[in-house]
């Protein structure tokens, strides 16, 4: 019984660390894209920075908030999916339109 609960806690911690690391690296890449926007005034780079930020840190925050509020798995997946779709739409905008 105790071993099972420790395994669940350990798996949750590994997942949180992996999501957090992804968010940190994604924010670093988004920061580089935003600096490119500031340097060159390129609207594409700004949209790309926002899209990458949503795809990485936005998903992390959405899942973290859903976990903190005790939402069910369906709500977590819905929130994560919505943030991912919005982030991909912003990246698509950066590539095609801007």
C-alpha–C-alpha distance, residues 26 and 53, integer Å: 6
Contacts of 47 (CB under 8 A, 6+ apart): 90, 91, 93, 94, 98
Measured CA distances, 86 to 48, 51, 56, 59, 90 (Å): 12, 8, 12, 10, 6
Q: pTM (2 decimals)?
A: 0.80
CA dihedral (38, 40, 44, 48) in degrees, to 10, reads -40
Per-domain residue ranges of the chain: 2-96
Cα-flanking dihedrals φ and ψ of residue 71, to 5°? -65, 155
pLDDT tens for the 98 residues of the chain, in order: 555 565 556 656 778 888 899 999 999 999 999 999 999 988 999 999 999 999 999 999 998 888 888 888 888 899 999 999 999 999 999 999 86
């Amino acid at each position: 019984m105790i071993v099972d609960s420790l395994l669940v806690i350990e798996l949750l911690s590994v997942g949180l660390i992996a999501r957090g690391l992804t968010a940190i690296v994604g924010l670093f890449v988004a920061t580089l894209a935003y600096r490119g926007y500031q340097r060159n005034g390129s609207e594409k780079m700004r949209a790309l920075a926002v899209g990458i930020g949503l795809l990485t840190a936005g998903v992390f925050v959405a899942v973290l908030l859903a976990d903190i509020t005790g939402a069910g798995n369906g709500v977590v997946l819905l929130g994560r999916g919505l943030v991912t779709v919005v982030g991909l739409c912003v990246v698509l905008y950066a590539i095609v339109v801007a």
